[in-house]
Copies of this chain bind each other. A is one copy, B any other.
Amino acid sequence: MEHIYAAVLAGGSGQRFWPLSRELKPKQLLSMFGQESLICQAVRRILPFTGDGEHVAIVTNERLFDELRNHLTAQDERRLREVRYIQEPVARNTAPAIALAAALFAAEDPEAIMVVLPSDHILEDGDVWRDCISAAVAAAEDGYLVTIGIQPKRAETGYGYIKGADALPEYSRGEAEPCVVERFVEKPDQARAEEFVASDKYFWNAGIFVMKAGRVLEEIEAAGGEVAHIAEVVRWIAEQEPAQRQGGEARARFESITPISIDKAIMERSERVAVIPARLSWSDVGSLLSLEGIAETDDDGNVRVGRGVDIGTRNSIVYTTDRLVATLGVEDVIVVDTTDATLVLDKSRAQDVRQVVEALKAQGAEELVQPKTSLRPWGSWTSLLSAQNYQIKLIEVKPGARLSLQKHHHRAEHWVVVSGTAVVSRDGEQVDVHANESIFLPVGCVHRLENCGKVPLQLIEVQVGEYLGEDDIVRLDDDWAREL
């Protein structure tokens, strides 16, 4: 399967999951829906087909790139750390994003077959999935644009549907039996949705596609007009040196694209589209109601995760990450609690969390942007207190890992080691700092933190200074090469 590539779409901002998600911790980074984050699940789902991590590209934007990369490079599994990244210069919906990946894959391998996957869905892994992708690859090799269609479980009006027609038995693999697509139907009304479910011919469009990269570009070109312009832009970008791909020229060209979805751009127009009906358990994790699935429901219909009690509470969801949350006599509510923010909502309003986010944005609430804990390739940091002239963080460094060689213009740092041993280089001098010892890093000193030990290093950092922004950092040397 050497020609198989994957484009994992990870540009979503995840407003609907606030306060669990933040601008810099979108839904795809959340870990409560399974053993690991949704994006790690997505990458693992496709690795058996691509073989290695380097054939997987995370398609994202400039704002999220660093967080996604920090998240994936923090994983133990080598192939998750090896994935590559494609940055959309600006957001222009899915067609330009997928086309950009197609152009880059095609430039590398003219035979490239790309699997397009959302990064923030739940999808059952296993034999059925394996058969689906095998069948899809077979059809894609013959030039089909292939979609995976989920067997609908209910008359959902919020999804798009795909209608299947004649079978394509030559591509069947195991349980996966592709057929030609008759048409795509956007969000139907209730009556039509019920017909669709009853008919056995309609499937949910889960945004999973398998296509030759070259065919994607061909179909885009064939669409003509504004759509065809997408192909021009992405082909131009793919011809540039990597450093130029996020440059001003690339951005200007990408900005000239009219936003359009991949469905509208090519799927609904092409004559050669196949769907593989799949009996897969799937969820788009579309709202906080999805939390209902992550723990058992008690006798009163409540789902609770985290510390606290519910007295006289019914049909509610209480999710708390670390704090204590109690409920008394409420019904049909969702309480989502994180270290720094809490949301209490009626279940019927789960689709409207975006309104809360917009209102908080108008207030300038910083709790929309940054999560309190942030993974890094070398470990993690957690913000404990932010005041005007000082800030406290808990920093954890993995055995064998080190941070960049850095300095700050505006802040001094006091490090108190509470567990493990730190090896600190400070203006050329090297100092071992053991548990219950501390070290001072004055403003402007060039320093680096390293854990040479065998156990995790934990230290408390007290930053003192007049400006404490994350961007007051000059990286002189960095194992994690943030500047691409």
Seen from chain A, the residues whose Cβ lies within 8 Å of a Cβ on chain B are 19, 307-309, 311-312, 320, 323-331, 333, 335, 337, 340-346, 348-349, 352-353, 355-356, 359-360, 363, 365, 367, 384-385, 387, 389-390, 392, 394, 412, 414, 416, 418-419, 435-438, 440, 460, 462, 464
Contacts and interface: CB of A to CB of B under 8 A. Distances in A.
B438 A414 contact: yes
Contacts of A330: 330, 333, 344-346
Given A328-B352, A328-B355, A390-B418, 5 more contacts: A324-B340, A330-B330, A384-B385, A392-B392, A418-B462
A338 to B, nearest CB: 9
A426 to B, nearest CB: 15
8 contacts: A323-B340, A325-B343, A326-B356, A328-B345, A331-B346, A333-B344, A416-B464, A438-B440
A325 B464 CA distance: 29
B390 A460 contact: yes
Nearest to A350: B328
A333 B414 CA distance: 44
A95 to B, nearest CB: 33
B387 A384 contact: no
Contacts of A462: 416, 418, 438, 460
- Which secondary structure dominates where chain A touches chain B? strand
Contacts of A323: 340-342
A356 B324 contact: no
Contacts of A384: 384-385, 392
A363 B355 CA distance: 36
Nearest to A363: B309
A136 to B, nearest CB: 40
A331, A335, A414, most chain B CB atoms within 10 A: A414
Given A324-B342, A326-B343, A349-B329, A311 B419 contact: no
Contacts of A353: 328
A345 B46 CA distance: 45
Contact of A436 (B325, B363, B460, B464): B464
Contacts of A359: 309, 311, 326
A341 B325 contact: yes
Contacts of A337: 342
A330 B414 CA distance: 45
Contacts of A344: 325-328, 330, 333, 335, 344
Given A349-B328, A352-B312, A460 B341 contact: no
A333 B312 CA distance: 14
Contacts of A419: 389-390
A355 B355 CA distance: 34
A391 to B, nearest CB: 9
A329 B346 contact: yes
B324 A367 contact: yes
Nearest to A418: B390
Nearest to A288: B328
Nearest to A464: B436
A73 to B, nearest CB: 26
Nearest to A322: B340
Nearest to A316: B344
A348 B384 CA distance: 36
A75 B346 CA distance: 43
Nearest to A332: B330
A193 to B, nearest CB: 25
A56 to B, nearest CB: 36
B324 A360 contact: yes
A165 B307 CA distance: 55
A359 B424 CA distance: 47
Contacts of A418: 387, 389-390, 462, 464
A355 B418 CA distance: 38
Contacts of A460: 390, 392, 462
A353 B394 CA distance: 35
A416 B416 CA distance: 10
A311 B356 contact: yes
A346 B462 CA distance: 41
Contacts of A19: 324, 326
Given A326-B341, A342-B337, A344-B328, A307 B352 contact: no
